[in-house]
Chain A
Amino acid sequence: MAAVRVLKTVIKRRFSSALYITGDKAQSNYVVLTPHIDFDEQIKRKDDLVKSIKARKLNIDLDKIEKRWAFFKMLDDHKTVLEVTRNEINVVIGKLKQEPQKNAADIEKLQLHVKLVKDDLKNIKDYSYGIDENANLGVLSLPNLLHPQTPINNTVTCHEFLDQPKRVDKSHVDVAKSLNLIVYVNPTCCFLKSDAALLEFSLTNYFQENLLKMGFTQFSNADFARSVVVDGCGDRKIFTLEGSNDELNRLHLVGGGSLHSFMAYFAKHSLQAAALPLKFFSLGRKYVSGDTGSDLFNLSQNSVARVFVAFEDDRQMDETLHALTQQIIQLYEPLGYHFKLVYVPASDLEKGESLRVSVQMLSNFLQKYVEVGSLGVYDDYLSKRLLFTCMVNKERRFLKIISGEVLNVQRFLACAIENNCLLEKPLIPDVLKKYL
């Protein structure tokens, strides 16, 4: 017990998350959901976890998390032992009390014992909240494992269309301003005008019609998400609204084209396996805070198309990913711009992604490829954190998710403007004319 007391003072409650709320905080905060945490299973693949952390260049000390977890489990076991002991003693006392005179001495002894056990339990409970939170949030801070196809160092190209456009010496911002296509104020504020606005309109209409043809079902999502969803998706570049006093349950502006808006829909819900696979998409805004820079690659507000696919069977993973990748190619090639599809290296992945296929166009001013669309493989990482399940033979299974922003209009527009610069092509290709 002495060791426990020392640790109590050492472990400070540094973390705070809307995703994991311990009993003490639960008295003043509504616990929306409790994520599924299976560290004992996860740590069986310790080598893969270490590889993932290292390849992503994350500053996470897995050994420390493991130790904290072991200590939390030990404490939890100890708590269980004390609870059982307390209950057992109470039963014995109950029996002895049937002949109180005869057993007076024993009863007194046992009552003293039960009091000591209760005090111990209370002590443990008081400080175990911090240990509980530390251990569980440590586990929740771990990234997804890596998909075998994720490259460790460099991007790997898996598809390329048309030749690279030649280098230009004017950025899309300069060209767009001179052609009166945009009014750029700052990253939170940019107006698209004339053909730029019409490109946004026709391109989203084009994606909508074709995604429907490909068998996707359209969603029009909510733009706000609560902290629990934001923490569940593991992203902090988010706008937070004023006026939500409850620190663990705030309201954030994420946009209907965000992953958050889909996860808010499915979090804490289960569905019948017969409904699978899910193939949904949404068109809408995506808001990201804290972007700096003065071009269309770093705006706080983007218009995007997002696909959201969920299935149960592991074996469907590669097949689904392949089919989605082919569909992206089918969507992009008719637009007539140079692009390539790459697997991004581990260090560029989001924590929840095990693999990301990135659609990239060339900024021929920056001489750099820019992501205009993507597909992220999340496996069951998100569904365990936010409880999204299905029942198979009365058994709960966590759904596998592949989701991505298959189109980011503003980034596409920026590259299209630079690519067109030397060719003097119209910004809106013929294929989009009928979508105006």
Chain B
Amino acid sequence: MILGKIVESGSHLHRRFFHISRSLLWNITQCPELDTDYLCNPHNAQEISDNITARKGVGDINLVHELKQKLSQLNTQDTMYESTQKQLYSELLKIPNRTHPEVAGYNNDPKIVKEVGNKPNPDTDLKEFQEITKRLKLVRTDQLGNLSGNKSYYLLGELAELEHALVRYVVADLIKNKFELISVPDILPREVIEGCGMNTRGARTQVYTLDERLHGPDLCLSGTSEMALAGYLSNQTLSHDRLPLKLAAVSRCYRAETSNLLEERGIYRVHEFTKVEMFVVSSPEASHDVLEEIRQIQEGCFGSLGLHFKVLDMPAHELGAQAYRKYDIEAWLAGRQIYGEISSCSNCLDYQSRRLGVRYSKNDSVGFVHTLNGTACAIPRLLIALVEGGQQKNGTIAIPDVLHKYMGKNVIGKQKKIPELKLIKNKK
């Protein structure tokens, strides 16, 4: 089968072979088993079409049905058969996940599920993250574009310690909650990333690609460890009694996206950051409860850090193609006096597992698992919330109680060991 594909590919033989062999190493399925019973049933066309519209998503269900019709009229020996089948697959893959019925009922606004902690009284004396960290020499962002890339940043001294302490605290909490820690690669094949529902091509892609001429085709940088963890499980069949399988990873995340929005200034939206991620594989019947469990872990964690935040059930148009339901957590950023998204969790049902071939077996039956993911701790925004919220009258920053034991201190002050730098002007 695979050999046949290589021979057919003609002038792209070398490229295709490389392509296929790399996928094979990863066990990425070439023809995912999509839910065609649902997607290709004309009775569902309206529902699917309405869902795409509500999600402001891509995909054309009518085209899917046309192609399906066309394919059924062709003989398998027909020269058009394979190309039509390929086109049908390509269109099927574009159709987004279904949307939770409750969510489908919301209009354009998210539903506030709960609020945790109290919103502090407005205080005009409160400073913003950039101002505080510049004064205390905790972050450097200036004069770096030509040396370490646009929007790059360095966390310095006690802020780097705070980052480390957060990761330690959150991972320890996840281990207590029976998550298994996995160390993941940050460079992934394109198929793994696309299997998770991310687009990797085009001018607006959020995914960085490595230079094809130097490193071979189709190597991308991971935007979240969810991708590596999903790839790690690809083509596995897990015994039902191992579910839910709860995985956690600490990784660097790379995103090509950028922003010029005023409220996203500083390190709010950056190209590179550290994140602790939860990834859970569950049986279909349990995934709704697992999503609630992930949300509770997040609420417990952010609550223990003394943050004030809202939990939002996001409306259809805010869901990525893969999500069936998504909760966002927006924390109060005291300096800028706005709520900012610091975390989210999603139930993807079988959207990712079908694309990556992750199954479970129970007695004699085999089915697709449900996958869920949640941010346990995404560093830059959590630092913004903690630094802006922790600022004290004397100019120092209070560290949340639960982190004291990891930092061996309870406040952050000016970093005396960080030297003042002066730019050397070019002369020749």
Contact = CB atoms under 8 A, between A and B. Distances in A.
Interface of A: 30-34, 183, 185-186, 188-194, 196-198, 200-201, 205, 208, 212, 217-226, 228-229, 239-243, 249, 251, 253, 255-256, 261, 264-272, 275, 278-279, 282-285, 287, 289, 300-301, 303, 387, 389, 436
A382 B239 CA distance: 55
Contact of B183 (A188, A191, A239, A256): A191
Interface in B212-264: 212, 214-215, 219, 221, 228, 232, 250, 252, 254
A225 B122 CA distance: 41
Nearest to B158: A218
A275 B209 contact: no
Contacts of B185: 188-191, 301
A222 B152 contact: yes
B21 to A, nearest CB: 10
Interface in B151-202: 152-161, 163-164, 168, 171-172, 175, 180-188
Nearest to A224: B149
Given A201-B181, A222-B154, A31 B426 contact: yes
A191 B182 contact: yes
A400 to B, nearest CB: 15
A289 B171 CA distance: 29
B350 to A, nearest CB: 23
9 contacts: A191-B184, A193-B183, A212-B161, A223-B254, A224-B272, A226-B148, A242-B212, A264-B148, A270-B422
B419 A197 contact: no
Contacts of B427: 34
A355 to B, nearest CB: 25
Given A240-B210, A261-B148, A271 B156 contact: no
Contacts of B274: 220
Contacts of A32: 146-147
Contacts, number: 182
B219 A192 contact: no
B181 A197 contact: yes
Contacts of A387: 424
Nearest to A242: B209
B423 interface: yes
Nearest to B185: A189
Given A31-B426, A226-B146, A278-B419, 15 more contacts: A192-B183, A193-B182, A194-B180, A205-B164, A218-B158, A220-B163, A223-B254, A225-B148, A229-B148, A240-B210, A240-B215, A242-B210, A269-B421, A269-B424, A275-B420
Given A188-B219, A229-B148, A301-B187, A289 B214 contact: yes
Nearest to A193: B182
Nearest to A32: B146
A241 B209 contact: yes
B417 interface: yes
